[in-house]
Structure 1
Amino acid sequence: MGLLDTDRRILALAFARMADAAGNSFLIVVLPLYITSGVVTGGTYGLAPALITGIILSAFGFFNSALQPFAGNLSDRTGRRRIFVIVGLLILGVANFIYTLVGSYNAVFLVRIMQGIGVALTVPATIALVNELSTAASRGGSMGVFNTFRMVGFGLGPVVAGGVVSGGPYHLFGVDMTGFEAAFYIATLSAFVGMALVYLLVEDPEVEDLDAEAGESFSIAVFDREREDKLLDPVFTLGLASLFMAIGIALLSPLEHLINTTLGQTATMFGIEFSAFVLAQVLFQAPIGSWSDTYGRRPFILAGLLLLVPTTLVQGFVTTPAGMIVARFIQGVAGAAVFAPAMALAGDIAHGRSSGTTLSILTMSFGLGTAIGPLSAGYLAGVPIPFGTSYATPFVFGAVLAFLGFLLVYSQVDETVDTGGGSSHAGAEPSTAD
């Protein structure tokens, strides 16, 4: 499925997510600088500024991830996705603006939680809409297109953010603003642009309720009670694999200083290495997602998880910037092979209005992994191993998790696409949305 063949409503959601992701990724660069700039003061409780910064940054991931299943379930129960996306983006935009008004650690922490609430409302409902606006034959391609736009926004944000902060102060339309304020205003505008796109171009689809009890009660199935030869629920298993993948992907950022010192490189080169992963995601998400509609979801998920093992491990042992760029790029290809097919497989399994709850398990897991990854990297970087550099241990840990994810998916997840061999999961039914 090409870009021109994608439902315009899915494209609108993708553009909205791109704008939102660009604004959010702005804050990846801006918030640490803002918190340590001297503008934010008071309420440290005796903790080091670096630790306070880590707590504030991680709060978003943990709070956002914890709320996503509940928000997804609530959108299932109401049968209305669009309003959750709009309200979530509104909350996110207001939170981004409030950063310009606060000056204490406590206040910044509370605003970060507010951001988490906004994203928790937005993400499950958005993914559910993409799922319901797709057919069984196009779901992988739709998920790939959607995530491609998200990664474009995520990749552009950090590139622009540093220049915006360092280029201040500004005087625009008669208003004086610092570089930080300009960055927060751009993040605010991005959220509001996404909200406007969804409001103007997206409507809730008419989806047949295949399961009369879908969304009526909230629960996450851990064990599979339908397949006698499997222990774990397939969506829960995919959630674990997504968690492990996200942890491995997120190990790099907190080790920037160690990596730059070991490889003898500048911060600019580190940024290129970080962006190599994003570039691979942008290039391969859509085609791999589309291929999974034809050749099946499971082979791509397994191949991606298996490829994550060496590409994560080698990042702790490369000795040149070029080696790190190659490792990150191929890791991005591996991540692309997992993300869209896994979301599509979970979407195949979801029945009727249960898409929000089902798919939120994967989005929650990925978000939780991006929060756990930096914390585990910071802790494990000081743990010695008999071989490798001083920061190799986190990458060994990430590689082990990726292999565990591969084993879980191989043993617990069935194919949902009938590729001619009749191996599709009996419970997977195509969406009835056009």
Structure 2
Amino acid sequence: MRRSVRQGVRSMFDVDPRVFALAFARLADGVGNSFLVIVIPLYVASDVVTGATYGLAPAMIIGIILSLYGLLNSLAQPFSGRLSDRHGARKRYILVGLGGLAATNFSYLFADSYVALVGIRALQGVSVAFIVPTSVALVNELAATGRRGGSMGVYNTFRLVGFGAGPVVAGAIVSAGPYDVSLGDAGLVLSGFELTFLIATAAALVSFAMVGVLITDPERTRAAAGGSPSIRWRDPRGEHLLNPVITLGLATLFMTIGIAVFAPIQNEVNARLGQGSTWFGLQFSAFVLAQIVLQTPIGSASDRVGRRPFILWGMVLLVPATLAQGVVTTSGAMLLARLGQGIAGAMVFAPGLALAGDLAPEGESGTTLSVLTMAFGFGIAIGPLVSGFLVGLGFVVPFAFAAGLAALGAVLVATQVEETLDDGDRSVDIDG
């Protein structure tokens, strides 16, 4: 019976059932983590948080808090990815990260100062650094070359379902609070902020349980343990100036900066468009919604027609989609611009991870793919800082800057990255 269920999952999604289980676990923690993207700016602006601001404007404080997470997350990812390669273990590092994520989510209940928020967000960044490169490396090792794009697409789709749903739900929960909770004869009043932090904690614990029960490390991962993996900046084949994995990391960095400039200026966006937090949540989620719909089909298509065309044209499309966000004047137009940016991101995410996975030597998936996941985290860190600083020069400025980076990324992909699939690697139909 169990074997037939696994075969059904494999046939439906064309991936190893453990990829599906890991993706669903990341869906759970994605819901909780995305709550914080919307809630933290509102929490900073509320009367709950007090203390010294050291002369910084609220938008800059929000940018620092959001950026610190991405900065520490990114700095730690190469180490956690390399450790998981050397020890031939992915699962244990994922569990360590999820446990830390649950603890830090719960800690927000006791944070009433800017300094406390900074400290908790820093610890959260380190915790997530144990999850991201190891889980992506695990997906890479569970996928055959001709199925890698589809596997990355399924993983990202389910993870992003959680990340996309979170902001809409979080905005509604905060707006509808406080809540009266009955506990037998006793009663408890929870603010909207407190309820979101509790939900985020529960989501991380659900993910922890799923990984603990459903995930196992591949035998070949354990067999390849003990090496000293590393990444060179120059192309080891001597065909290009840069290592194609490094180039993909730079393109990912530029793309993510463009994504991340939106969230920290929530208050400025709402004021410019005359809208509330619910509209902003929908606009934030529009980017993710496009990827939810497109990640798996694009990933699977990259297994058939190649990785590079999707990555290149995704970076090209990112330029006008990002710039448009700085010039639109209605909530509906902003929603469409975010959808366009989401389509571009979907064309880059799964094919980019798959191409890097194609290039990863045996037993070095954690080290190789941490270049891309680290770049993603750095983009999350840099984007809010860029946004918080440049928005003072004009609303369009941070978006124009990010669009310029996307154009540079397109040039790098066009000149430094070659296709990794040949005819023998391309996937075929399940029945074929």
Find the aligned partners of 2:268 and 2:26 in 1 and give their Cα distance.
33
Aligned to 1:128: 137
2:398 to 389, 394, 397: 394
Q: Is the 8 A contact 2:27 2:162 kept in 1?
A: yes
Alignment of 1:7-406 (within 5 A): 7-45=16-54, 47-165=56-174, 166-174=176-184, 176-179=188-191, 180-207=193-220, 214=227, 216=228, 219-224=230-235, 226-383=236-393, 390-406=394-410
Instruction: Summarize the Cα distance change of 1:52–1:275 in structure 2 as closer, same or farther, 3 Å threshold.
Output: closer
Q: Is the 8 A contact 1:26 1:157 kept in 2?
A: yes
Aligned AA for 1:201? L
The unaligned stretches of length 5 or more in structure 2 are 1-9, 427-432
Q: Is the 8 A contact 1:210 1:351 kept in 2?
A: no
Q: Is the 8 A contact 2:64 2:384 kept in 1?
A: no
Find the aligned partners of 1:364 and 1:80 in 2 and give their Cα distance.
19
Aligned AA for 2:257? I
Q: CA deviation at 1:108?
A: 2.5
Q: Residues 40-95 of structure 1: CA distance to partner in whole angstroms, max 9, x if unpaired?
A: 33354454555433322221111111111111111111100000001110111011
Aligned AA for 1:158? P
Q: CA deviation at 1:3?
A: 4.5
Q: Is the 8 A contact 2:86 2:225 kept in 1?
A: no
Find the aligned partners of 1:182 and 1:347 in 2 and give their Cα distance.
39
Q: CA deviation at 1:261?
A: 4.2
Find the aligned partners of 2:221 and 2:21 in 1 and give their Cα distance.
23
Q: Is the 8 A contact 2:59 2:388 kept in 1?
A: no
Q: Which of the pair is proportionally richer in helix? A: 2
Find the aligned partners of 2:84 and 2:52 in 1 and give their Cα distance.
37
Q: Is the 8 A contact 2:168 2:278 kept in 1?
A: no
Aligned to 2:430: none
Instruction: Summarize the Cα distance change of 1:104–1:317 in structure 2 as closer, same or farther, 3 Å threshold.
Output: closer
Instruction: Summarize the Cα distance change of 1:197–1:31 in structure 2 as closer, same or farther, 3 Å threshold.
Output: same
Q: Is the 8 A contact 1:25 1:157 kept in 2?
A: yes
Q: CA deviation at 1:126?
A: 0.5
Find the aligned partners of 2:411 and 2:33 in 1 and give their Cα distance.
33
Question: Secondary structure, in 3 states, of the residue corresponding to 2:75?
Answer: helix
Q: Is the 8 A contact 1:3 1:145 kept in 2?
A: no
Find the aligned partners of 1:36 and 1:262 in 2 and give their Cα distance.
18
Question: Secondary structure, in 3 states, of the residue corresponding to 1:41?
Answer: coil
Q: Is the 8 A contact 1:255 1:391 kept in 2?
A: no
Aligned AA for 1:342? G
Question: Secondary structure, in 3 states, of the residue corresponding to 1:352?
Answer: coil
Instruction: Summarize the Cα distance change of 1:412–1:314 in structure 2 as closer, same or farther, 3 Å threshold.
Output: same
Find the aligned partners of 1:351 and 1:250 in 2 and give their Cα distance.
31
Matched residue pairs, number? 413
Instruction: Summarize the Cα distance change of 1:42–1:309 in structure 2 as closer, same or farther, 3 Å threshold.
Output: closer
TM-score normalised over the length of structure 1: 0.89
Question: Secondary structure, in 3 states, of the residue corresponding to 2:109?
Answer: coil
Find the aligned partners of 1:234 and 1:251 in 2 and give their Cα distance.
26
1:410 and 2:414 equivalent? yes
Q: CA deviation at 1:231?
A: 0.6
Q: CA deviation at 1:409?
A: 1.0
Q: Which moved more, 1:289-298 or 1:92-101?
A: 92-101
Aligned AA for 1:394? P
Aligned AA for 1:222? W
Find the aligned partners of 2:129 and 2:221 in 1 and give their Cα distance.
25
Instruction: Summarize the Cα distance change of 1:316–1:190 in structure 2 as closer, same or farther, 3 Å threshold.
Output: same
Aligned AA for 2:129? A
Q: CA RMSD in A?
A: 2.3
Find the aligned partners of 2:275 and 2:62 in 1 and give their Cα distance.
25
Question: Secondary structure, in 3 states, of the residue corresponding to 1:139?
Answer: helix
Instruction: Summarize the Cα distance change of 1:105–1:324 in structure 2 as closer, same or farther, 3 Å threshold.
Output: closer
Q: CA deviation at 1:230?
A: 0.6
Find the aligned partners of 1:65 and 1:347 in 2 and give their Cα distance.
19
Q: Is the 8 A contact 1:295 1:419 kept in 2?
A: no
Find the aligned partners of 1:160 and 1:94 in 2 and give their Cα distance.
21
Q: Is the 8 A contact 1:99 1:108 kept in 2?
A: yes
Q: Which moved more, 1:99-108 or 1:360-369?
A: 99-108
Instruction: Summarize the Cα distance change of 1:33–1:251 in structure 2 as closer, same or farther, 3 Å threshold.
Output: closer
Q: CA deviation at 1:268?
A: 3.4
Q: Residues 348-394 of structure 1: CA distance to partner in whole angstroms, max 9, x if unpaired?
A: 111122111111110110111122112212222233xxxxxx42222
Instruction: Summarize the Cα distance change of 1:361–1:170 in structure 2 as closer, same or farther, 3 Å threshold.
Output: farther
Instruction: Summarize the Cα distance change of 1:267–1:406 in structure 2 as closer, same or farther, 3 Å threshold.
Output: same
Find the aligned partners of 2:265 and 2:118 in 1 and give their Cα distance.
23
Q: Is the 8 A contact 2:13 2:154 kept in 1?
A: no
Question: Secondary structure, in 3 states, of the residue corresponding to 2:188?
Answer: strand
Aligned AA for 2:146? A
Aligned AA for 2:312? L
The unaligned stretches of length 5 or more in structure 1 are 384-389, 425-434
TM-score normalised over the length of structure 2: 0.89
